[in-house]
Structure 1
Amino acid sequence: MTNPEAHDTHTGHDMSGAQAGHGPATEHVDHERANSHAGHDMNGGHDGHSMSGHGGHSDHVAQFRRLFWIMLLLAIPTSALSGMFAMILGYQLPDVPGLAWISPILGTVMYVWGGRPFLVGAVAELRARKPGMMLLIGLAITVAFLASWGSTLGLLDHQLDFWWELALLIVIMLLGHWVEMRSLAQTTSALDSLAALLPDTAERVTGDEILAVSPSELRVGDIVVVRPGGSVPADGRVVDGRVAMDESMVTGESRTVTRTVGDRVTAGTVATDSGLRVEVTATGEDTALAGIQRLVSEAQNSSSRAQRLADTAAGWLFWFALGAAVLTAIAWTLFGLPDEAVVRTITVLVIACPHALGLAIPLVVSIATERAARGGVLVKDRLALESMRGVDVVLFDKTGTLTRGEPTVAEIVTVGEWTEDDVLAFAAAAEHDSEHPLARAIVRAAVERSLRIASASGFSSSPAVGVTATVAGAVVRVGGPHLLTEEGAAELAAVAAWRERGAIILHVLRDGEVIGALSLSDEIRPESREAVAALHRLGVTVVMITGDAEAVARTVAAELGIDRVFAGVRPEDKAAKVHELQRDGSRVAMVGDGVNDAPALAQADVGLAIGAGTDVAIASAGVILASDDPRSVLSVIQLSRAAYRKMQQNLWWAAGYNLISVPLAAGVLAPIGFVLPMSVGAVLMSLSTVVVVLNAQLLRRLDLRPEVVTREILGEGPSSR
C-alpha cells in the first residue's frame, strides 16, 4: 500500500493510501418471491409467472388498477340486480323481462375477466403443490360461480344465488392486490446498473490506427486508449501514461488513485485527468466487474426464501376451510338434509375466502412505505422491511456512510510566528486552480474561516511531489514527503501522531522554508455518533467495514464507539465478511453506498443503501436511505417493528374471523337452533375488512424523521428495549 502522504500526478496528492473500499448493503430482490404471485399474469401468459425478473411491476400496477375500476363498475349492477342481494336488503326488483339475466351475464364476465389472475394463480399453486391464498380465492369464486348458475337455471336451491357475493369477492380481492402491487417499487436491475459502468465503445490500437469497437470484441493482449474522463473498457495493465483514476464506482472509495505504467486497472473505472494506454488482461466474464455481477446475482437468488406471512396463513386457512367444507357436507348429508348440505358447504367455502386476509399485509406495507418515504426511507423490498425488526447487527460501510466520503482539513500545525490562518491561506492560494479533492478541501477550509485567498500565478503540479505557485511574490509549495526531500526540509515533529491515525499529511513551504503542515481526513458525520448510541440502546451491535488501513479504521471506530471493525477489506471480500457474521448466528443489516458493496448488500439479511450512493448500490438494496443520515437506519428498525405488530394484529383478526365464522356457517350450533345466514356472514366479512383497514391506518401516526426517532430512542430507559 502506498504512503498516504505520497502525491499523485494531478496535484501531488496520492489518494491510494489508506484506500477505503467501502461496502453498501445488498438487495434482497428475490426472484422466487416475485414469482409467488404466479397468478398475476394479465397478458395471457401460460403459466402466470409474468412477474418474474426485474421489470413489469409498474405495468401490473396499472393493469390491476384498471381491472379493479372496471370490475367495480360491473359489480354495482351485478349485485343490485341479484335476487338474493335484493332479498337480504329487503327491496323488490322490478318485473322487467330479461332483468334476471343481467346478474348472471355480468357475473360471468367478472368471473372470466376479473377472476382470471386468481384462477391462473390457483392453477400455478396446484402445479407447485403449494396451496395458498390464490387457490382459496380461486376455489371460492369458482364455487360461487357454479352455484349461482345452478341456482339461476333452477338446478339448485335459490339460496345459492351468489352473484352478488362473487362480484364483491372479485372486487375486494382485486383492490387488495392492486394495493399490494403498488407497494412493490419498480426496481432498476443491479446487474444492468453494473453493466452500464462499461463504455459503449472501446478504442483499440491496431497498427497505426485507433479503431472504435465494442468492449465485447476486445481480446486479451489488445491495446486500448482511455481518454481523459473515459471509462476503462476491460481489466488491464497500464503500458503508457500516468493518471488519477476514479475507482469509486467499483471500490466505493471517493479519493482518486494514481495509476502508472505497470499498474493494473479495472473495467468501469474512470481516468480523471489524462489519458492512458492499457493492455487488456481480462475480458467479459473474467473481469472484476463481472465477478461482482456474479456475486450480486448469486446473493439475490439465494436470499429471502421465506414465504410471506399472509400466504402462510392462507395456506393453513385453505386446508381448514376445505376440511370444514367436507365435514359439513358429510354431516348434513348423514342427518338426511342433502339440499341443506349443499347450501352449508358452499356457504363455508365462500365465507372462508380471505377478504380481510388479502388486505392485511399489503395495506400495512403500503401505508408503512408511504410513512417511510416521509421519513427519508424508500422501501423496495417488503421482506427487507419485515426482516429489519429482527436485526441484531448493523454493519456500516465507513466512507460515505459514517463519514462524508470526502477529505476535510482536520488539524493545522505552524512554525514560528506563522498562524494557522496564514498557513491555510497560503495553501489555499497555491491549490486554488486545482480540481483535486484535497485541493478543494483546503480551499473549502479557507473559505469556511473567511480567509482572503490571494491570487496565484505560475501554478504547476509535479507527480508524487506536490503543487507549486507564486503567491504574493513568494513561491509556495504544498506536498508530501517527496516535496520535503526535494527541498531538503525536515518533517515537523507534530505530524507523527497524525500518521498513526492514518491521516493524509501535507507540508506547506514558503520560499523553501516549512511554515506549517495540514492533516486531512475523511470527516465523520455528526449524526453517526447519535446513530451508534441509539443502536446500542436498542441492543444492536454496530460493526464497521472499510478498505481503509487499520489505523484509519480504528480511529473512526474509537471516536464513534463502534463494537467491531473489519479494516483493509477488499471489495470482493465484503460479502464474505457479512456471511461470517451470519455464520455466528447474527441477523445482519448492511449499510453502504458503493458498487463494491452490492454483493455484501445482497448477502445481508437486509441491505440499506445510502441514497447519495451509486445506482448499483441502490439497485442492490432492499431499503434506500434517501438522505445520507445514518440515523435513518433507526427509522427503518422502528417502522419494521411497528408494521410487523400491525401485520400480526391484522392477520389474527382476519384469520380469527374465519376461524369463528366458518364453523358457524358449517352449522356447529344447529343443534341449538342457530345457523349463520349468508347475509350475516357477508356483513361480518365486510366488518372484518373495515377493522383491518382502520387498524392499518393507525401507522400513519408514526413520525419517522431520523432526528425524532433517534431522540425518542435515546430518551428511553433500558427497560424499554
Structure 2
Amino acid sequence: MFLTIIAITGATVLAAGAKVYQDKKRERDTPCTVAAERMSKNRLAKLPYGNKPLPILSRPVTAIREFKRDKINPFFGRRHEQLSEISQAEDVNETSEAEKKMDRYLTISVACFGLTTVGSLVYPPLLLFSVPGLVYLTSFFFKRSYDLIRQEGKVAVALVDSLSFGGTLITGHYFACSLAYTLFYFSRKLLIKTEDHSQKSLQNIFGHKPALIWVQQGDVEIEIAFDSLQIGDFAVIQAGQTIPVDGTITSGAANIDQRTLTGESQPVEKEVGDPVFASTLVLSGKIYIQVEKAGSDTVAAQIGDILNRTADFKSNVLSRGEKIIEHGAMPTLAISALALPILGTQSALATLYTAFGYHMRSAAPISVLNFLNMASENGILIKDGRSLELLSEVDTFVFDKTGTLTQNEPHVGTIYTCHGSDENELLTYAAAAEDKQTHPIALAIQKEADNRKLNVPPIGEAKVELGYGIKVRTLASDEEEDKLIRVGSGRFMVMESVTIPNEYQQIEEKAHENGHSLVYVAIDEQLGGAIELLPTIRPEAKQIISDLHQRKIKVVIISGDHEKPTKKLALKLGIDHYFAETLPQNKADIVEQLQNDGKSVCFVGDGINDSIALKKANVSVSLRGASTAATDTASIILMDESLKQLVPLLNLASDLDANLSNSVVLTVVPGIICAGGVFFFHLGLVSSIIWCNVALVASISNAMLPLIKPKKAPFLVE
C-alpha cells in the first residue's frame, strides 16, 4: 500500500519537477516575456469580477483542468504551440470527445482512490463510499472488455482486465481496485495525448474558396460572392491570386505556378484555350476563365476526396505499449489458469497481477510524450507518437522532388549574351525590370545582381504585358540615356517584335529538357541575351542522402516533373531509384507497392499532389510552409523548413526504441518474480500487488529519464 502511494507521489513529483525545470529554462531564455506573463496573471487574479465570484471558483472543472495543464502536466508547451501554428483549420485547444470521456472516468477513479486511501489509513468506513464508483467503473470495464472481444477479437487482454479488476473488487480489495482504475484511465489519457486526433475532412482544404470573386458580366467586371458563381461564368484572376476554379482561359495570358498540384518545378505559360486548375497560383498576368468546375468538383478537391477515402496507415497500428500488453496477456492467463486448481482462487487472482508487460500501458505513453516534447523543443513537431515508434523500423525514404529536395526559389545559371551585351549589363537591366516583383524568378535575378554587387538603375513605371513578361524604361542620367527594357518569355519577345536568333531556340529547348527556365532580356529593340534559371537544390540535401545511405536506408525520388530533370537530380544526389511524371494517385500506388514488397516507407513531401502518398506511408514528413494539405496530412513537421532535422529525428526514434525496450524489461522481470513467488513461496494478493507496483515505479522512472536528463546533442544541428 505504502509502496503504491510512493509510486504515485514519485511520478507526480518527477513530472512537476520537470515542468519547473522547463519553466526556469524558458525564463532564463526570455526573462522579460515570462515576467510579463506572470505579472499579467497576478494582476488578473486580483481584479474584481463584478459581483460574481472569480471563474476559478465558479468553474471548478475548468480551473482544475487549467491547473493540471499549467502546473502538473509537463507534456504541454512548445509542442502545443507548434500544433496551434500548423493546425489552422481546427482549434487544437478544444478537448476531444475521447479525452473528455477519459477525464470523466479518471475523476471518478481519483475520487475513489482518495476515499480508499483515507479509509485504509485512517477511517475504514470511508471504504464503503467508494463502492458505488468502483461498481460503476467495473460495469463500464466489462462493457469495454465485451467490445474488445466482439469488435477487435482481443480475448486475452479483455479477460485479464475483467478478471483482475472485477476479482479485486469482489474480494473486497477496494484500495487496490481504485488504484488500478486510476492508473488505467491515466494511462489511457496519456495514450490519447500521444495520438493525432485531428481527423477532419480535408476536402475543404483542397477546394479552398474565397469569400468573393471578380467576374465579367457583359463589358463590366463585378465582384460577387463565390457561392453565387455558376458554371459558365467568366472569372477574372490577376497576378498574385490563387485560382479557385477549374476552367479554360477565354482571354488574356498568365505565368502560373502549378507545382503544388502537378509537381512541375517551373512556372507554366498559359494563354487562350489552355486549361487552368484550382489551387494553382498566377505569378503574373491577368486571365479570364470560363468556369467549368468549382468547389468540391475541382481536380484539387477530388484529390481531397480520394484522401478522405484513403485509409491512414496509422489507423490500424497499435502503439508498442499496446502490443506488449497483448503479447503478455495470454501467458498471464495461462499462469492464472494453472494456479487456480493447484493453489486456489486467491493465488489465481494474485497471478493475474504478474501481468507481464502490463505497466507498459502507463510507461509507454509517458515515455513517448517525453520524446515528443524533446522533439518539439528542437524544431520537430510530431503529431502522433506512433509515427516516432514506427520511424525506427523505416528502411526506405521516398522524397518528392520539387519543393522538398529543391527550394521554391531557383538560381541563376548560365547567362547568354548577344549583340555586344555582357553578362553584368544583361543582369543589371533584368534586375532593374524585376525590382518590384516578388515571384521566384524575379527574386532569383535580384539575388544574383546583389551577389555581384551590380548598380541597378532606377526605372519608371513598369508594365506587365499579358503575363509573358514585363516592360520598363530606365530613367536617364548624366552618364546614360534611358533605355527600354523587356524581360520575359520567348513568346513575349515575338509579341514585342524582338528577333530571337536561331541558336537561342536550341538553347531554350535544351533548357526545358533539363527542367530549367530561360528568361529573355531585350535592350531597346534588340535582344541582349537570356538568363538560364536552375532549380536550387537544398544545401543540406546531399549530406542527408549520404547519412541515410550510411544507415543502410534505401532512398527513392518520386516526382511529377519530367524525366530528364528528375534523373539529373537523382544522379547529383547519389540516389539510385526515381520515378518521373508521376500523378498524385500513382505516387500513392508506388508507396503501396514498396510496402507490399516488405518495405517500411517514410514519405517526405510538401505539395497537394503528395498528400495521398503521405497518408499511405508508414511515416509521413512535411516541412513548415508547405501546402496546407501536406502539413495537415503529415504526422511529422520539420518546423525550420529544411531537411536538416531528418537525421536527428532518426536518432530520436532510436533513443525512444531503446527507452521502450528498457521499460519492457522493467515491467516483465517483476512479473516473473511475482509468478515464481506465488507458486513457490505462496505470495498472496497484497504481495502480488506490491510487486506489480515495483514494476510500475521502475518503468515510470525509466520513462521519465529523458525529461530529467535530456540528451540534446543528437537533436541539435548547427
Q: In the alignment, is the contact (CA less than 8 A) between 1:169 and 1:355 conserved in 2? A: no
Residue of structure 1 in register with 2:441 after alignment = 438
CA gap of 1:624–1:116, structure 2 versus 1, over 3 A, is farther
Partner of 2:171: helix, strand, or coil? Answer: helix
Alignment of 1:294-333 (within 5 A): 294-301=305-312, 305-332=316-343
Partner of 1:322: helix, strand, or coil? Answer: helix
Question: Are residues 1:478 and 2:516 paired?
Answer: no
Residue of structure 1 in register with 2:684 after alignment = 677
Q: In the alignment, is the contact (CA less than 8 A) between 2:236 and 2:287 conserved in 1? A: yes
Residues 316-344 of structure 1, C-alpha deviation per residue, up to 9 Å, x if partnerless? 43333333333322223xxxxxxxx2322
Residues 217-260 of structure 1, C-alpha deviation per residue, up to 9 Å, x if partnerless? 877x5324244366555432233443344445533557543333
Partner of 1:524: helix, strand, or coil? Answer: coil
The amino acid across from 2:232 in the alignment is D
Q: Give the deviation of 1:644 after TM superposition.
A: 2.1
Structure 2 residue corresponding to 1:398, chosen from 398, 401, 417: 401
Residue of structure 2 in register with 1:519 after alignment = 532
The amino acid across from 2:682 in the alignment is V
CA gap of 1:492–1:703, structure 2 versus 1, over 3 A, is farther
How many angstroms apart in 2 are the aligned matches of 1:244 and 1:117?
62
Q: Give the deviation of 1:138 after TM superposition.
A: 3.9
Residue of structure 2 in register with 1:373 after alignment = 376
CA gap of 1:572–1:632, structure 2 versus 1, over 3 A, is same
Alignment of 1:549-588 (within 5 A): 549-588=562-601
The amino acid across from 1:369 in the alignment is L
Residue of structure 2 in register with 1:468 after alignment = 471
Q: Give the deviation of 1:203 after TM superposition.
A: 7.1
Q: Give the deviation of 1:515 after TM superposition.
A: 4.1
The amino acid across from 1:403 in the alignment is T
How many angstroms apart in 2 are the aligned matches of 1:597 and 1:327?
54
Residue of structure 2 in register with 1:130 after alignment = 154
Residue of structure 1 in register with 2:60 after alignment = none
Q: In the alignment, is the contact (CA less than 8 A) between 2:389 and 2:653 conserved in 1? A: yes
Deviates more, 1:298-307 or 1:166-175: 298-307
Residue of structure 2 in register with 1:151 after alignment = none
The amino acid across from 1:323 in the alignment is A
The amino acid across from 1:106 in the alignment is S
Question: Are residues 1:650 and 2:657 paired?
Answer: no
How many angstroms apart in 1 are the aligned matches of 2:201 and 2:260?
13
CA gap of 1:463–1:231, structure 2 versus 1, over 3 A, is closer
Q: In the alignment, is the contact (CA less than 8 A) between 1:378 and 1:626 conserved in 2? A: yes
Q: Give the deviation of 1:289 after TM superposition.
A: 2.5
Question: Are residues 1:100 and 2:124 paired?
Answer: yes
Residue of structure 1 in register with 2:430 after alignment = 427
Q: Give the deviation of 1:197 after TM superposition.
A: 1.6
Question: Are residues 1:632 and 2:645 paired?
Answer: yes
Q: In the alignment, is the contact (CA less than 8 A) between 1:244 and 1:256 conserved in 2? A: yes
Q: In the alignment, is the contact (CA less than 8 A) between 1:360 and 1:651 conserved in 2? A: no
How many angstroms apart in 1 are the aligned matches of 2:692 and 2:181?
14
Residues 59-102 of structure 1, C-alpha deviation per residue, up to 9 Å, x if partnerless? 544664575466445423412422xxx5xxxxxx5xxxxx4321
Question: Are residues 1:76 and 2:114 paired?
Answer: yes
Q: In the alignment, is the contact (CA less than 8 A) between 1:310 and 1:357 conserved in 2? A: yes
Residues 456-481 of structure 1, C-alpha deviation per residue, up to 9 Å, x if partnerless? 12533334753322224122232333
The amino acid across from 1:363 in the alignment is I
Q: In the alignment, is the contact (CA less than 8 A) between 1:530 and 1:631 conserved in 2? A: no
How many angstroms apart in 1 are the aligned matches of 2:101 and 2:598?
42
CA gap of 1:614–1:479, structure 2 versus 1, over 3 A, is closer
Gaps spanning 5+ residues in structure 2: where?
A: 1-89, 477-481
Structure 1 residue corresponding to 2:698, chosen from 691, 710, 714: 691
Residue of structure 2 in register with 1:288 after alignment = 299
The amino acid across from 1:331 in the alignment is I
Partner of 1:447: helix, strand, or coil? Answer: helix
Residues 415-442 of structure 1, C-alpha deviation per residue, up to 9 Å, x if partnerless? 6886543332221112213343312221
What RMSD, in angstroms, separates the aligned Cα atoms of the two structures? 3.5
CA gap of 1:583–1:354, structure 2 versus 1, over 3 A, is closer
Partner of 2:326: helix, strand, or coil? Answer: helix
How many angstroms apart in 2 are the aligned matches of 1:203 and 1:405?
29
CA gap of 1:705–1:520, structure 2 versus 1, over 3 A, is farther
Question: Are residues 1:236 and 2:231 paired?
Answer: no
Q: In the alignment, is the contact (CA less than 8 A) between 1:456 and 1:469 conserved in 2? A: yes
Q: Give the deviation of 1:691 after TM superposition.
A: 1.6
The amino acid across from 2:164 in the alignment is A
Residue of structure 1 in register with 2:72 after alignment = none
How many angstroms apart in 2 are the aligned matches of 1:110 and 1:354?
24
Partner of 1:406: helix, strand, or coil? Answer: coil
Q: Give the deviation of 1:120 after TM superposition.
A: 4.3
Residues 322-371 of structure 1, C-alpha deviation per residue, up to 9 Å, x if partnerless? 33333322223xxxxxxxx2322332334538652212321221122112
CA gap of 1:317–1:108, structure 2 versus 1, over 3 A, is farther
Residues 370-422 of structure 1, C-alpha deviation per residue, up to 9 Å, x if partnerless? 12222322222333222222222211111221111122223434568865433
Question: Are residues 1:610 and 2:633 paired?
Answer: no
Residues 275-320 of structure 1, C-alpha deviation per residue, up to 9 Å, x if partnerless? 5443444467653224312332333256653434333332343333
Question: Are residues 1:170 and 2:181 paired?
Answer: yes
Structure 1 residue corresponding to 2:605, chosen from 579, 592, 596: 592
How many angstroms apart in 2 are the aligned matches of 1:509 and 1:214?
41
Deviates more, 1:264-273 or 1:441-450: 264-273
Residue of structure 2 in register with 1:546 after alignment = 559
How many angstroms apart in 1 are the aligned matches of 2:346 and 2:283?
77
How many angstroms apart in 2 are the aligned matches of 1:549 and 1:199?
32
How many angstroms apart in 1 are the aligned matches of 2:224 and 2:264?
30
CA gap of 1:190–1:564, structure 2 versus 1, over 3 A, is farther
How many angstroms apart in 1 are the aligned matches of 2:528 and 2:279?
41
Q: Give the deviation of 1:270 after TM superposition.
A: 4.7
Partner of 2:657: helix, strand, or coil? Answer: helix
Q: In the alignment, is the contact (CA less than 8 A) between 2:611 and 2:629 conserved in 1? A: yes
How many angstroms apart in 2 are the aligned matches of 1:202 and 1:591?
34
Question: Are residues 1:260 and 2:267 paired?
Answer: no
Q: Which has the higher contact order (CA 8 A, sep 6+)?
A: 1
CA gap of 1:436–1:372, structure 2 versus 1, over 3 A, is closer
Q: Equivalent pairs: percent with the same residue?
A: 24
Partner of 1:590: helix, strand, or coil? Answer: strand
Partner of 1:139: helix, strand, or coil? Answer: helix
Residue of structure 2 in register with 1:250 after alignment = 261
The amino acid across from 1:309 in the alignment is R
CA gap of 1:550–1:319, structure 2 versus 1, over 3 A, is closer
Partner of 2:300: helix, strand, or coil? Answer: helix
The amino acid across from 2:640 in the alignment is S
Question: Are residues 1:112 and 2:136 paired?
Answer: yes
How many angstroms apart in 2 are the aligned matches of 1:533 and 1:81?
63
Partner of 1:562: helix, strand, or coil? Answer: coil
CA gap of 1:421–1:186, structure 2 versus 1, over 3 A, is farther
Partner of 1:487: helix, strand, or coil? Answer: coil
How many angstroms apart in 2 are the aligned matches of 1:246 and 1:476?
24
Partner of 2:430: helix, strand, or coil? Answer: helix
Q: In the alignment, is the contact (CA less than 8 A) between 2:207 and 2:296 conserved in 1? A: no
How many angstroms apart in 2 are the aligned matches of 1:557 and 1:707?
28
How many angstroms apart in 2 are the aligned matches of 1:310 and 1:123?
21
Partner of 2:462: helix, strand, or coil? Answer: strand
Deviates more, 1:176-185 or 1:364-373: 176-185
Question: Are residues 1:222 and 2:232 paired?
Answer: yes
Residue of structure 1 in register with 2:29 after alignment = none
Residue of structure 1 in register with 2:289 after alignment = 278
CA gap of 1:462–1:254, structure 2 versus 1, over 3 A, is same
